[in-house]
Structure 1
Amino acid sequence: MPVSFRGKCVLSILAAGSLMSSLAYAVPSMLPSPPDINAKGYVLMDFDSGKIIASGNENMELAPASLTKIMTAYVAGQEMNSGRLSFDDTVTVGRNAWSSNRKFADSSKMFIEPGDNISVENILHGVMVQSGNDASVAIAEHVAGSEDAFVTLMNGWAAKLGMKNTQFINAHGLDGRDISTSPMDMAILARAMIHDTPDVYKIYGEKSFTWNGITQSNRNRLLWDNSLNVDGMKTGYTSGAGYNLVTSATEGDMRLISVVMGTPNQKVRLEESRKLLTYGFRFFETDVLLEEDETAITSKVWKGKLDMINLGIDEDAALTLPRGQMKDLKVEYSVNEPLQAPIAEGDVLGVARWTLNGEVVMEHELEALTAVEQGGFFKRLLDSIKLFFSGLFGGMLA
């Protein structure tokens, strides 16, 4: 579609209902306050948009306990993404990972022994389903040579993900000096776990795992909850941390992540997580308004081999709003005109801006979806003349 090259090009797309729906009585949408949560800190996050639906003390530094193992599994998953690790690799258990070590007394274990040769896949089951502290050390030593070296990877990924209140000191989460995280950081990590390492994340949905003749059930009892479609993620408990739980559940196309930290007992961490997820699914909705690499607008290009170029965004534009508000959204595409070749694929050429009741609720940069090379000499000359006269006569040429 030709557009004016003087100033900004603004296209507004308004959502319009049918005649019947426009005549129907509009029932006002009421949004209740989030539920009171019995935890030191909590977060409810929408997975697709990253929107925080509800939170309390979300940046408070708290002991993670076995929530640490989410990062342990995430690092392993990223090693798989890089090609340096696979599910079929064999882990040889060392003495530091021996389940009989005194430091693991009265804690969760996979019950592995020095000299055992175990696949990475089974070790990760021990980490993620059985919450094995011994298994966590075993995978750490296999990946990085020592647990200390693995912890540097954990903290490196934490920094890369923007986990500002997190410091890991081991691969398992037992209490120690300077160990810390926050509900917000755990939500960020959980979102990355699902998005970046989906094959590893699937293990969290398994309800039990057997090793060395011992069957242990997944401690995330929400996997058995018929009122929610929970497919992960991880529990944690130490005397210093209290009872923690990170959970993810889906309803239709919507996925939510809940984090509760520092609850008084196992029952409460389940109840509070259920409250948050139920609130989110009942009163909010998520929609992908524009998909990655989908054409948002086609704009005029000057001095190029092509006369038009498609503009879009480099990631899905997902938005979470209270139910009933999505229909009132408006979108404007502003293009930095005049666009002149050469243009490289990925060049930022404008912005997509969504508004609700006059307020901006989301913005994304508009990028060139294809490259446009410069045209020949006469094409550039002709377009230069047109651009010159358009400046004199108010942009009437196209």
Structure 2
Amino acid sequence: MRLFRNLSVILLSFALAAPAHAFETSARAAYVVDVTTGTVLLNKNADTPLPPASMSKLMTLYVAFEAVRSGRLTLDERLPVSQHAMSFGGSTMFLDTTDRVRVEDLLRGIVVLSGNDACVVIAEALSPDGTEAGFARFMTQRAQQLGMTNSVFKNASGWPAEGHVMSMRDLALLSRRIIEDFPEFYEMFAETEFRFDGRAPSNIHNRNPLLGLGIGADGLKTGHTQEAGYGLTGSAKQGDRRVIFAISGLDSMQARARESEAIVNWAFRQFAQKSVVKAGEELARAPVWMGEAATVGLTPAEDVNTLLPVLDGGELKAEIVFTGPVRAPLAKGDVLAELVFAPADLPETRVPLVAAEDVAQGGFLTRLRTVSGLLLSRLQQGPEGTL
């Protein structure tokens, strides 16, 4: 017997907030997320793979942080500088082949000074085959494991190379992992300057234009090449809220600074955290196939919060989407549906809904009633109804 399953939609309405005003960005691609609630505030070409320039150094840093955490590197360990590392131009620590540099200095050299040479030193130390190219392949594999599906690395520094790409969503995801997985290292990203061994007095300042503005900015990484334009992957924390964003393709340092500050101010000033529904609160009941109960409650496993405009009034339209009827047996906590909502001018949010209670498989009489009902339904439909 064939079970007929249909996509079911239950419409809901929450009296919460008025429409928001969308942020119009001049960036080629942008992604802004409120980490505290998971609310995506801006998505413009966020899944398009683009040249990330030095913002891809965040992946080199993540792998290096993992190596220190696991003991494969130590902060006081001194690493040699190869001719290949020394050969890089652009932003550097001005290392040469006579140096042996502490890992901690290399990390700060990457975070604060965006040192291309420092990236290569780290890469060659951690590469499976001792080469930067081998390290780039490893980074690509590790990125896939982290869920970064639009990232491919050809080098450790973001130096222009065909096929070296990341999406803005991937950069935001990576930033969150750095912040949450390595709080002991994340403090480096707020440092405004780093002086290494008295060298390069012209390259001691962090290029992040948001640091020191008093808006809660504490990271992460700028980037610029001719192909990529000017970009920034940033984060700021105010009170209990944290916002992470990634932008790319701006035409100047000044435009990058203005756009980044405007995004942070918009995200914090124009939105407030609101409760949509509490964990365990039943929102609807879904029909159950072959169960001891005819329906099962649908509820979020955790409190559902979102960001909404600061002005009160209006309604938030939402819907519950599931493929039904759901088939017994069901265990409390099984994911059965999604709550989907999208405040005006914001990308939609999707929240899993779970079974509110167990539903055992029905016995013989239940199955008999179900089959009889299905037969009757099909007969009423006429000859096109099939079993």
Instruction: Please confirm whether the aligned pair reaches a TM-score higher than 0.5, indicating the same fold.
Output: yes
Distance 1:59 1:276, change over 3 A: same
Q: Kindly indicate whether the alpha-carbon contact (under 8 Å) linking 1:352 and 1:364 is maintained by their aligned counterparts in 2.
A: yes
Q: Kindly indicate whether the alpha-carbon contact (under 8 Å) linking 1:91 and 1:138 is maintained by their aligned counterparts in 2.
A: no
Partner residue of 1:189 out of 141, 148, 171: 171
Is 1:274 aligned to residue 257 of structure 2? no
Is 1:220 aligned to residue 208 of structure 2? yes
Is 1:128 aligned to residue 83 of structure 2? no
SS, match of residue 51 in structure 1: strand
What is residue 96 of structure 1 aligned with on the other side?
Answer: 82
Amino acid at match of 1:191: L
What is residue 153 of structure 1 aligned with on the other side?
Answer: 138
Q: Residue 96 of structure 1: CA displacement?
A: 2.5
Q: Which whole-Å deviations, capped at 9, do the CAs of 1:306-362 have from their partners, x for residues lacking one?
A: 9x98865567755444443786225566788887864346533334344769x9944
Is 1:73 aligned to residue 57 of structure 2? no
SS, match of residue 272 in structure 1: helix
Q: Kindly indicate whether the alpha-carbon contact (under 8 Å) linking 1:42 and 1:58 is maintained by their aligned counterparts in 2.
A: yes
Distance 1:369 1:114 in 2: 66
Aligned length: 357
Q: Whose relative contact order is higher, 1 or 2, with alpha carbons under 8 Å and at least 6 apart? A: 2
What is residue 40 of structure 2 aligned with on the other side?
Answer: 51
SS, match of residue 297 in structure 1: coil
Q: Residue 277 of structure 1: CA displacement?
A: 2.7
Q: Residue 92 of structure 1: CA displacement?
A: 4.1
Q: Give 5+ residue unaligned stretches, structure 2.
A: 1-7, 375-387
Comparing 314-323 with 297-306, greater Cα deviation is found at 297-306
Distance 1:144 1:315 in 2: 41
SS, match of residue 273 in structure 1: helix
Q: Kindly indicate whether the alpha-carbon contact (under 8 Å) linking 1:97 and 1:112 is maintained by their aligned counterparts in 2.
A: yes
Q: Give 5+ residue unaligned stretches, structure 1.
A: 1-7, 18-27, 392-398
Q: Residue 152 of structure 1: CA displacement?
A: 0.9
What is residue 365 of structure 1 aligned with on the other side?
Answer: 352
Distance 1:221 1:203 in 2: 15
Q: Residue 269 of structure 1: CA displacement?
A: 1.9
User: What is the TM-score normalised by the length of structure 2?
Assistant: 0.69
What does residue range 279-294 of structure 1 map to in structure 2 within 5 Å? 279-287=266-274, 289=276, 294=279
What is residue 328 of structure 1 aligned with on the other side?
Answer: 315
Amino acid at match of 1:70: L
What is residue 380 of structure 2 aligned with on the other side?
Answer: none
Q: Kindly indicate whether the alpha-carbon contact (under 8 Å) linking 1:104 and 1:133 is maintained by their aligned counterparts in 2.
A: yes
Q: Kindly indicate whether the alpha-carbon contact (under 8 Å) linking 2:291 and 2:366 is maintained by their aligned counterparts in 1.
A: no
Distance 1:244 1:303, change over 3 A: closer
Amino acid at match of 2:176: I
Amino acid at match of 1:367: V
Distance 2:337 2:296 in 1: 12
SS, match of residue 82 in structure 2: helix
What is residue 92 of structure 2 aligned with on the other side?
Answer: 108
